[in-house]
Amino acid sequence: VAVPKADGNTNPIIHKATVSAPTNIACIKYWGKADSHYNTPINDSLSLTLDQSDLRAVTSASASLAFDKDRLWLNGSEEVGAASSRRFRACVDGVRALATEKIDPDTKEVIVSKDDWKKMHVYIASYNTFPTAAGLASSAAGYAALVAALVELFGAKESYPGEFTAIARQGSGSACRSLYGGFVAWRAGGEKSDWSDSIAEQVADEAHWGEVRAVICVVSDAKKETSSTAGMSTSVATSELLAFRAKEVVSKRMKIIEEAIKAKDFEAFGKVTMMDSNQFHATCLDTYPPIFYMNDVSRSIVQLVHRYNDWAGEIRAAYTFDAGPNAVLYTLDKHVIELLALVLKYYPCESEDLMGDYVNNKDMVSKALAFELDSGLLQALEKSCSIRDIGDVKMVYCTKGGPGPQVLDASSEVFEFKVE
Beta strands, E only, 178-238: 183-186, 200-204, 212-218
Q: For position 212, what pLDDT does the model report?
A: 98
- Rg of the chain taking only CA atoms, in angstroms: 23
Q: For position 225, what pLDDT does the model report?
A: 77
Compute how many other C-beta atoms are within 10 angstroms of the C-beta atom of residue 389.
10
Measured at the CA of 61, the angle between CA 59 and CA 64, to 5 degrees, comes to 160
Q: How many angstroms separate the CA atoms of 141 and 175, rounded?
A: 6
Q: What are phi and psi of 291, to 5 degrees?
A: -115, 130
Measured at the CA of 28, the angle between CA 172 and CA 222, to 5 degrees, comes to 55
Q: How many angstroms separate the CA atoms of 30 and 42, rounded?
A: 8
Q: For position 134, what pLDDT does the model report?
A: 47
Q: Three-class SS of residue 176? A: helix
On whether the CB atoms of residues 344 and 393 are closer than 8 A, the answer is: no
Q: Full-prediction pTM beyond 0.85?
A: yes
Q: Three-class SS of residue 146? A: helix
Q: What are phi and psi of 18, to 5 degrees?
A: -130, 135
The residue among 196, 87, 69, 72 whose CA lies nearest residue 125 is 72
Element holding 3 (H helix, E strand): strand 2-3
Q: In what order do the strands lie in the sheet with 71-74?
A: 77-78, 71-74, 121-128, 56-64, 15-22, 406-408
| Segment 98-136, tens digit of pLDDT | 999 999 989 999 999 999 999 999 999 999 887 554 456
Q: What are phi and psi of 152, to 5 degrees?
A: -65, -45
| Segment 46-92, tens digit of pLDDT | 999 999 998 899 999 999 999 999 999 998 999 999 888 999 999 99
Q: Three-class SS of residue 227? A: coil
Element holding 330 (H helix, E strand): strand 327-332
The residue among 161, 172, 170 whose CA lies nearest residue 57 is 172
On whether the CB atoms of residues 221 and 131 are closer than 8 A, the answer is: yes
The residue among 128, 96, 124 whose CA lies nearest residue 16 is 124
Taking phi first (over 0 means left), then psi (-120 to 50 degrees means alpha), and beta for anything else, what does residue 316 get?
alpha
The residue among 149, 148, 128 whose CA lies nearest residue 137 is 128
On whether the CB atoms of residues 145 and 405 are closer than 8 A, the answer is: yes
On whether the CB atoms of residues 401 and 333 are closer than 8 A, the answer is: no
Half-sphere exposure at residue 348, Cβ-oriented, CA atoms within 13 angstroms: 10
Max distance between CA atoms of the chain, in angstroms, equals 77
Q: How many angstroms separate the CA atoms of 238 and 325, rounded?
A: 22
Measured at the CA of 276, the angle between CA 378 and CA 215, to 5 degrees, comes to 45
pLDDT by position in tens, the chain (length 420): 888 776 655 678 999 999 999 999 999 999 999 999 999 999 999 999 999 998 899 999 999 999 999 999 998 999 999 888 999 999 999 999 999 999 998 999 999 999 999 999 999 999 988 755 445 658 899 999 999 999 999 999 999 999 999 999 999 999 999 999 999 999 999 999 999 999 999 999 999 999 999 999 999 767 777 788 889 999 999 999 999 999 999 999 999 999 999 999 999 999 999 999 999 999 999 999 999 999 999 999 999 999 999 999 999 999 999 998 999 999 999 999 999 999 999 999 988 888 888 999 999 999 999 999 999 999 999 988 999 999 999 999 999 999 999 999 999 998 887 776
Strand partners, 19: 59, 407
Instruction: Give helix then strand counts, H and E, for the chain.
Output: 13, 20
